[in-house]
Every structure is written in structure tokens, then in C-alpha cells.
Structure 1
Amino acid sequence: MPFPSTDRLILGLDRALRTVSAQTRSSRPDPDAGMAEAVLSEAEKKHSAGLMRVNHVGEICAQALYDAQAAYSHAPEVARQLAHSCIEEEDHLAWTARRLRELNSRPSLLNPLWYAGAYTCGVIAAKCGDAASLGFVVETERQVEAHLEGHLRELPVADVRSRAIVDQMRVDEIAHGAAAQHLGAIAIPLPVRLGMKAMAKIMTSTAYYV
């Protein structure tokens, strides 16, 4: 099993600190650029903020997962794809963090915990081999896609800015899953898929409030 170099570890630590402290920037234009801010009731604004906080936590976890899986992958092409997906996930992180500020809200107080847990899961997945690790990506993105589709149904209709961000995230997640599948992902066992779903449920229901 290859281990990351000292330079890679330092870069990974720097990324982790920037991720949990919301010090990330997007490399692509904002999906909601040029859209007017809607007039939302306090209840609508609070609900949008809760959903976007959940999405922000999801991106914290995505950064940790992809960093770990790329660091411990065997094949260079797998590491490159995971690193590419990680960059796009960083865009999502920046978009959701900015949107939370616009909604006068804050990220989850448990972000360091979410990051550490997701990184551990990423290392475990990578140690199972590239095919299994890619399968973990496919299943993760499948569940995230369903989760984002649910948020598109739940977000206030008038909150077009949050909706534009979530929709672009959904498109990107589908592409990440397809890329992992193309590289040779294998299906992961049903108990693992159910465990992932249960952990995601705990995370989303907690992050909405905390």
C-alpha cells in the first residue's frame, strides 16, 4: 500500500484546515451569478440556511473523502480523477459557504468532526483497493444526487440563488459518479450501502441545526 509523501501530507493538512475554516475559493463562476436576491420570509430563510448548511457539510465530507482516497490510491489515473473531482467539490464548498453568509447563517459547528470521520472512511475505502474505492465513490455520488434532488423539492421556490447552486452541484455529482464507474468501479456490498445511508441520515439531520 503506497503512502503519501511528506509534501502531500503537508498539503493535505493545509487543505483540511482551509476546508473546515471555510477558507476556500471557487475556480468556476458562481451558478447564481447575476440572479437577484429574493425576498424570503424569516421561516423560508431559516429553512434555506438549514438545507445549505447540510450541503456545506456534505462538501466538507467530500473534500475529506477524495483527499484520502487520492492519497492512498494505487493507480495514477485514479488519483488524477479523484483530485479533479475534489477541485470541483471545492467549488461546491465555496458556493455553499458564501450562500450561508448571504442567508445570515453559519456553517456547522461540527465541521472538524465531519471532516475527520469522512477522511477515515476514505482511507478505509482506499485500502480495499482502487476498484472498491471507486465503487464507494459511485455509491456516495448516487446517494448525494438523491439528496440534492430532495433539496430542490424542499427549497423555497423563490430562493432561485440557492436552487441554482444545488442544481449545478447535482450535475457535477452525477459526472463524478460516472467517471468513477468508467475507471472500473465495482459494486459495494448492500450492508455497506445501507451503513452509508444511515450515517448520511445522521449527518444531515444533525447539520441542519448544528
Structure 2
Amino acid sequence: MTKTHTSRSDIDRYLRVDHAGERAAQQIYKGQLAIMKNHAMGPEIQHMMEQEVEHLEAFETLLNERQVRPSLLDPLWGAAGFALGVATAAMGPKAAMACTIAVEEVIGEHYQKQAENLGEDEASLKKIVEKFRDDELEHRDIAIDHDGENAKHYDMLRAVIQRGCRTAIKVAEKI
């Protein structure tokens, strides 16, 4: 059975957390570029960052149109994302790509759950969420193709980053 209506509280929560996540994502890539802009991966990271900026701008527009407040912790999401990007890039290109894999897997799952929960009344938002999900999974695939899974301590790095992402999602939905 297809859901026909999405509650206002669900929409508020989705937009708030998605905006926060896109803020962090574009900052992760900015942090990686601060370290790796002259590396062979620089153009790929730049491409991924540009897509995240498009996503962020789309959610800023949606927040304004629907009069939803952003996360009160918006500056924190940006700072944390930048720090994560710098730290993983400083560990090397494979660690930077491991970070991308970890983050984009979680975000892909997150957007998929949202798409499944959006009602028929939110077909346009569902289309946006599905497109952004596909972009995030493309970023994950790029990172896999660039040896992210071969980073030193990959399993631990992935687990820690994913736990942080899932925790940030829960917090940003509410605050």
C-alpha cells in the first residue's frame, strides 16, 4: 500500500537533517581538497564537492520555501565535516576515499529510507531525494574505484565514521 500523505513533522525533520548532512558533506570535500587539491584525485574530489554544494543549495531553498528552520547545530556540522575531510586526507588518498565510502553508504541508506517514507503528496521531494541518493552512491563508487577499501585500518575507519554519521543524523533531526 502506497502512503498518500507525509506529515509536516516528518517533512521538517527530513529537510533539517538533509540540509545538515549536505552542509557536512560539502565541507568534508573542502577539507580533503585543502590537503589534496594537487593530487591526482583532486578533480574527482572537486566534482563530488560541487554536487554536494548543489544539494546544499537545493535544501536551503526547500527550507526557505517551506519555512523550516535549519539545525541549530549547523555551524558544528560544517566544522566537523571539514575536520573529518582534513584528517582523512592527511592520512592519505586511500583514507580520504575510505571516508567517502563510509559517509556515502550511510547517506545513501538514509535517503533511501526517506524516499520510501514520503507519501504521494511529496512526489517532487521524493524525486529530489532519489536523485541525491543516486549522486551519493556514485560518490561511494568513485571512492571504491580509487582504492578506498584498501586504506590502512579500513574496517575501523569505516565503522567509526559511520557511527558518527548515524549519530549526527539522529541529532540533526531534532536539534
* TM-score, length basis structure 1: 0.74
Which residue in 1 is equivalent to 2:156? 191
Q: Quick check: which one's helix share is greater?
A: 2
CA contact (8 A) 1:59 1:92 kept: yes
1:75 is displaced (CA, Å) by 5.2
Aligned to 1:146, the other structure's residue is in SS state helix
Percent pairwise identity: 25
**Larger CA deviation: 181-190 vs 67-76:** 181-190
Q: Is 1:137 the counterpart of 2:137 in the alignment?
A: no
1:152 is displaced (CA, Å) by 0.9
2: CA distance, partners of 1:74 / 1:90:
17
* Residue segments in structure 2 that go unaligned for 5+ positions in a row: none
CA contact (8 A) 2:27 2:78 kept: yes
* Residue segments in structure 1 that go unaligned for 5+ positions in a row: 1-38
Instruction: Please list the CA deviations of residues 142-170 of structure 1 after superposition, one character each: whole Å capped at 9, or x if unmatched.
Output: 12111111111222332112111111101
Which residue in 1 is equivalent to 2:128? 165
Alignment of 1:24-63 (within 5 A): 44-63=7-26
**Letter matched to residue 44 of structure 2:** Q
Which residue in 2 is equivalent to 1:176? 139
Which residue in 2 is equivalent to 1:202? 167
Task: Report runs of 4+ in structure 1 exceeding 4 Å deviation.
Answer: none
Q: Is 1:73 the counterpart of 2:15 in the alignment?
A: no
1:194 is displaced (CA, Å) by 2.2
Equivalent residue for 2:52, pick from 78, 81, 89:
89
CA contact (8 A) 1:131 1:186 kept: yes
Which residue in 2 is equivalent to 1:150? 113
When Rg is computed on C-alpha atoms for both structures, the one with the higher figure is 1
Which residue in 2 is equivalent to 1:5? none
CA spacing shift, 1:192–1:144, aligned 2, 3 Å: same
CA spacing shift, 1:70–1:167, aligned 2, 3 Å: same
Q: Is 1:110 the counterpart of 2:73 in the alignment?
A: yes
CA spacing shift, 1:65–1:195, aligned 2, 3 Å: same
CA spacing shift, 1:177–1:201, aligned 2, 3 Å: closer
Equivalent residue for 1:124, pick from 68, 71, 87:
87
Instruction: Please list the CA deviations of residues 25-67 of structure 1 after superposition, one character each: whole Å capped at 9, or x if unmatched.
Output: xxxxxxxxxxxxxx967xx122112111111111000111000
Instruction: Please list the CA deviations of residues 6-28 of structure 1 after superposition, one character each: whole Å capped at 9, or x if unmatched.
Output: xxxxxxxxxxxxxxxxxxxxxxx
CA spacing shift, 1:74–1:186, aligned 2, 3 Å: farther
1:97 is displaced (CA, Å) by 1.3
Aligned to 1:105, the other structure's residue is in SS state coil
* TM-score, length basis structure 2: 0.88
1: CA distance, partners of 2:100 / 2:143:
7
CA spacing shift, 1:75–1:135, aligned 2, 3 Å: farther
Aligned to 1:77, the other structure's residue is in SS state coil
Say how many residue pairs are matched.
170
